[in-house]
Structure 1
Amino acid sequence: MSLLDVRDLAVSYDGRPAVRGVSFTVEPGEVVAVVGESGSGKTTTAHSIIGLLPRNASLDGGRVLLGENDLATWSPRRMESVRGAQIGLVPQDPSNSLDPVKTVGAQIAEVLRIHKRGDRAAVRRRVVELLTRVGLPDPETRARQYPHELSGGMRQRVLIAIAVALEPRLIIADEPTSALDVTVQRRILDLIDDLRAEFGTAVLLVTHDLGVAASRSDRLVVMKDGRVEEQGPTREILAAPAAAYTGRLLRDAPALSARPFREPVAAEPAIVVRDLVKEFRSGPRAFRAVDGVSFEVPRGTTHALVGESGSGKTTTARMVVRFAEPTSGTVTVAGAPEGRGFRRHVQLVHQNPYGSLDPRQAVADIVEEPLRNFRFGDRAARRARARELLDRVALPEDVLSRRPRELSGGQRQRVAIARALAAGPEVLVLDEAVSALDVTVQAQILDLLEQLQRDLGLTYLFISHDLAVVRQISHTVSVMNKGRIVESGSTRRVFTDPADDYTRELLAAIPEPVR
């Protein structure tokens, strides 16, 4: 008998079907990855299993068998006995999944108290034991801290501690590493593997990251539009996908594709950074976020700054676009005038297409805003330029009248790129510009950026923690760690013959398919 047997599951939101006839099994101790793009139904399926659908959702049909028990027929109150004790949940976002006004120790203890696992002293000992088990240093101190005092990786470890506190038979891990750096991602996935081996726990891994799924799962369930496209052993699907959609996902995943390196180009530098330093002061103390950074970007090429959170790469980018003043050092952008005209020459594309566009404006107003600021033509000329820009980023003209909330994430990022191109810049700084996107949309945006670079001769400074993406998009790369550049060179050389231990650690953390 399977540990979990999902049969013909059907779920709708406000009467609109979201999951349609989904069936799969999870065996004891195995990892099953449910993969697909946003809107495919994978998270809805996972939340259906554990009885955590939102109020506007309804379970319309199917069975959710945990052993011999059909959880689909259980009341919300009865499901409380299953959550934590038999099924643990590791949610997606460690920033929003923990109560900010409770210590992390109190939040782990709550699970133990609800299920009456010992007196106060026993619960306290178990909390420290769990924090130790998930690899948090000084667990007694961590138990007394609040979520904001921990890093993202530490918060995710706390969520894992909560999920495994009662040693459940099944863990549902819903995008457990999507917000984490590549090295932290590897440590979290290693931790889940270790706990699975120790407790014999099965894992249902929900992810849009094909690289993670390929490297960590025994079987794949590929979802699209609420249905299962195909499922089977991971090795077999990677070797010979039966569904065209699966093949496209695998081709688009940077960690799984083997595209040729982009070779460096001999050209005059468009960006020259020399001995850049940025300090932030708190009272008498100064924190040096960027420490003596130097690099050049040849015109018409892409230079990537890579490193973990806190490495200084985004602070460096902000100084390049003059959103922050350096403490010392210089940034020179060839051909860029001083003053207000600088912004016409250099533009920034932000990470989050959901937050970087004004939700109150129509797309036409968003794209035309730089044109109005620089007094480009009359209204008709600006509208014509907006149409041209939308065509350039492969969006239909009818998008002009729509608002950001009516667009997908990929469409929003295309609008953000169109806006950045409006004033005719020569340099774009892209700060994690594809990290919030599904793998297929990400591939489309990367292809678009390459095409724009070829057509317009653009120079890119590309900020990313995703080395698989950097390998695909950049000609040259600088690796940052604790505010310093530890290695720099052509992308081919850095990826195939890294000289620094930190670079090797980053490269080793790129997910590889199971063999």
Structure 2
Amino acid sequence: MSLLEVRDLTVSYTRRGRWGGVHARPAVHGVSFAVEPGEVVAVVGESGSGKTTTAQAVIGLLPPNGRLDGGQILLGGTDIAGWSQRRLQTVRGAQIGLVPQDPANSLNPVKPVGVQIGEALRLHRRGDRRTIAHRVVELLERVGLPDPEVRARQYPHELSGGMRQRVLIAIAVALEPRLIIADEPTSALDVTVQRRILDLIDDLRAESGTAVLLVTHDLGVAMDRSDRLVVMKDGRIEERGATRAVLGAPQAAYTARLLRDAPALRAPEFLSVGTARTTAGATAGTAAEEASREPAVVVRDLVKEYRAGGRPFRAVDGVSFEVPRGTTHALVGESGSGKTTTARMVMRLAEPTSGSVAIGGVETAGVRGARLRALRRDVQLVYQNPYGSLDPRQSVADIVEEPLRNFGLGDRAGRRERVRDLLDRVALPAAVLGRRPRELSGGQRQRVAIARALAPGPKVVVLDEAVSALDVSVQAQILDLLGELQRDLGLTYLFISHDLAVVRQVSHTVSVMSKGRIVETGTTRRLFENPGHAYTRALLAAVPGTAHQLAGQEVGR
């Protein structure tokens, strides 16, 4: 008997129409799969594929407008699909544990983490106060948190992202459930932290025989960590089977496309300095090749110092690099490595404690007034989260036009024409001009953000984790777009990322940062094929899905 068997699951969401009345939108259509004791089944697909809705239905945590329309959810042979929320409380935690995606929003900010772990034990009456306190410390130690007695008294904001995710795992395993549902448990984490979290889940599974339903859009993670794979698209299962069999020889065109678009699973390709990537993924010489003889960005001995507890703390410590014009230079490293602080100083959004930055041969230190406005026009920024960086009250037309108004470029008619040209360049239809950001997909919003950055005609574009929040297919489209824009416009990119698989695909040169310093720099090919520093080797080893490439194999080809 399967531990979990889902049969013909159908789920819809209801919404109130503009003119009244309630409309149901199907989200999951007749989905069936099983999870055996002790195995990991990965459910993969793009946003909107229905994978998270399926997981939420299994544990009875659909949002208020979600409705389970049909099918069975058999847990150990018992159908729990029709159970009330009160009855499901006896299952959650005790038989099914949940590790949600975002620890920042999943933990109560006003309660110590030890109290939150203990709540599950108290609800299920697993001992008196002293026993529960002892068990909380034991759980924190089990998930690898140092000084567990101290951590139990701390609040979520006092812990790093990786530590908070470990707390969520401690909550999920507190009652030793037979099944853990892990919904994108590492998507917001750096590769080394991601690897430690996934290793932890594997260790806990090996110790207790717990099965895992892993929901992810990362095929590299699915390849490394799952026994079987369920591929979903538009609420339906496209393909299923043993993970190696599905990814080694995909039968569905959709699975094959996901594989082609996954940076970690693509064949290694490296750009040479002075070339720009075409949309087909090859390299081609352009006008940028001639211009690459001189640097567009020069950073020398950059230092940023803060005061922490009355003592100086160096977030950036003596950083130096150059970016040849028309090329892409990547800054990579874990959270806290100093890469984003460095980028902010390049843009003059933060003042360096010492050191220098030159854009196009012009030193930026002390620049004021008209010269500072010219610098702002020459260097533009694309943020990680397009939804957070776009004004929800503005239309797309107003968002893209805003830099033109701010810099006094053109009259109203000319600006509107420029906006239409920019949307066409980033492959957005004119129909989106009047829409608000909430009416667009994540990929469309990021295209709007790129169009806005291009509006004043910059020479340098800083991309701060600009594709890390996107699904692999949308991510591939945005990366191809960036390559095309670089080829056509001779743009220079400073690419900030913790995703080395993406960096390998798009950058010409790389600087690896750790604890505020650059530990290694060079061409992308050299760093990936012959890393010289132990930290770089550790980062590369932690990239999910790359084991097959290290062994000289290629998936799905």
Q: Which residue of 2 aligns with 1:222?
A: 231
Matched, 1:312 2:345: no
Contact 1:35 1:206 (C-alpha < 8 Å) held by counterparts? yes
Question: Secondary structure in 2 aligned to 1:354?
Answer: helix
Tell me the distance in 1 between the aligned counterparts of 2:500 and 2:197: 18
Q: Secondary structure at the match of 2:67?
A: strand
Deviations 1:425-454 (A, max 9, x none): 110000000011111000000000000000
Secondary structure of 2:194's counterpart equals: helix
Number of the residue aligned with 1:22: 31
Work out which of the residue numbers 116, 119, 129 in structure 1 matches 2:128: 119
Please give the alpha-carbon distance, in whole angstroms, between the structure 1 residues aligned to 2:59 and 2:77. Answer: 15
**Structure 1: distance between partners of 2:522 and 2:331:** 11
Q: Measure the CA separation in 2 of the matches of 1:283 and 1:28.
A: 50
- Between the aligned partners of 2:141 and 2:516, the Cα distance in structure 1 is 30
Percent identical residues: 79
Q: What amino acid sits opposite 1:173 in the alignment?
A: A
Query: Is 1:158 paired with 2:167?
Result: yes
Q: 1:334: how far off?
A: 0.5
Tell me which stretches of 4 or more aligned residues in structure 1 moved more than 4 Å. Answer: none
Please state how far the C-alpha of 1:85 moved relative to its aligned partner. 0.4
* Displacement after TM superposition at 1:514 (Å): 7.5
* SS in structure 1 at match of 2:255: helix
Query: Is this contact kept in 2: 1:277–1:293, CA < 8 A?
Result: yes
Secondary structure class of the residue paired with 1:96: helix
Of residues 179, 182, 200, the one that matches 2:188 is: 179
What residue in structure 1 maps to residue 57 of structure 2? 48
- Give the structure 1 partner of residue 463 of structure 2: 430
The residue aligned with 1:468 is: 501
- Alignment pair present for 1:409 and 2:459: no
1:442 aligns with 2:442: no
Residue among 515, 535, 551 paired with 1:502: 535
**Superposed, which structure 2 residues align to 1:369-388 within 5 Å?**
369-388=402-421
SS of the counterpart of 2:321?
strand
8 A contact 2:293–2:324 mirrored in 1: yes
2:43 corresponds to 1:34: yes
Taking the TM superposition and a 5 Å limit, the aligned residue runs for 1:205-244 are 205-244=214-253
Match of 2:66?
Answer: 57
| Worse-superposed segment, 124-133 or 256-265 | 256-265
Distance in 1 of aligned mates of 2:498 and 2:302: 21
Deviations 1:268-312 (A, max 9, x none): 100000000001124632211000000000000000000000000
What residue number does 2:258 align with? 249
SS at match of 1:429: strand
Q: TM-score, normalised by structure 1?
A: 0.99
**Distance in structure 2 (CA, Å) of the matches to 1:514 and 1:2:** 30
Inter-partner Cα distance in structure 2 for 1:478 and 1:338: 29
Following TM superposition, by how much is the alpha carbon of 1:377 offset from its aligned partner in structure 2, in angstroms? Answer: 1.5
CA separation in 2, counterparts of 1:375 and 1:113? 63
The 3-state SS of whatever aligns with 1:95 is helix
1:90/1:173 contact within 8 Å kept: yes
Is 1:340 equivalent to 2:340 in the alignment? Answer: no
8 Å Cα contact 2:261-2:476 kept in structure 1: yes
Indicate the residue corresponding to 2:137 in structure 1: 128
Residue matched to 1:459:
492
**Structure 1 SS opposite 2:81:** helix
> Structure 1: how far apart are the matches of 2:512 and 2:268?
21
Question: How far apart, CA to CA, are the structure 1 residues paired with 2:109 and 2:406?
Answer: 41
CA distance in 1, matches of 2:268, 2:141: 41
Q: Structure 1, unaligned stretches of length 5 or more?
A: none
Is the 1:230–1:242 Cα contact (8 Å) retained in structure 2?
A: yes
Question: Given that residues 5 and 75 in structure 2 are in contact (C-alpha distance below 8 angstroms), is that contact kept between their aligned partners in structure 1?
Answer: yes
Counterparts of 2:372 and 2:537, CA distance in 1:
41
Aligned residue in 1 for 2:201: 192
Q: Is the CA contact (8 Å cut-off) linking 2:512 and 2:521 kept in structure 1? A: yes
The superposition leaves residues 95-137 of structure 1 with CA deviations (integer Å, 9 ceiling, x where unpaired) of 1100111111111111111111111111111111111110000
Aligned 8 A contact 1:6 1:65 in 2:
yes
Quote the residue 1:321 is aligned against: 347
Counterpart residue type for residue 267 of structure 1:
R
1:135-154 correspondence runs (5 A): 135-154=144-163
CA distance in 2, matches of 1:224, 1:6: 17
Q: How far did residue 378 of structure 1 move? A: 1.2
SS of aligned partner of 1:401: coil
1:267 and 1:121 map into 2 onto residues whose CA distance is: 69
- List gaps (5 residues or longer) in structure 2: 15-23, 275-291, 363-369, 549-557
Tell whether 2:118 aligns with 1:109: yes
Q: Is the 8 A contact 1:183 1:505 kept in 2?
A: yes
Post-superposition CA distance 1:311-334 (Å, at most 9, x none): 000000000011000000000001
1:489–1:513 distance in 2 versus 1, CA, 3 Å: closer
Assess if the C-alpha contact under 8 Å between 1:235 and 1:514 holds in 2. Answer: no
Letter in 2 for 1:186: R
Instruction: Name the residue aligned to 1:396.
Output: 429
Q: TM-score, normalization: structure 2?
A: 0.91
Letter in 2 for 1:481: S
Deviations 1:450-498 (A, max 9, x none): 0000000000000000000000010000000000000000011111111
Tell me, in whole angstroms, the C-alpha distance in 2 between the residues paired with 1:400 and 1:335: 37
- Secondary structure of residue in 2 paired with 1:73: coil
Q: Secondary structure at the residue paired with 1:262? A: coil
Query: Relative to 1, partners in 2 of residues 1:222 and 1:513: Cα closer, same or farther, differing over 3 Å?
Result: farther
Residues 46 and 471, structure 2, Cα contact 8 Å, conserved in 1: yes
Residue 319 of structure 1 aligns to a residue whose secondary structure is helix
* 1:480 equivalent in alignment to 2:523: no
- Tell me how many residue pairs correspond in the alignment: 515
Change (3 A) 1:2 1:234: same
Distance in 2, matches of 1:464 and 1:409, equals 18
Checking the alignment, whether the CA contact within 8 Å between 1:214 and 1:513 is kept in structure 2 is no
Displacement of 1:512 after TM fit?
Answer: 2.1
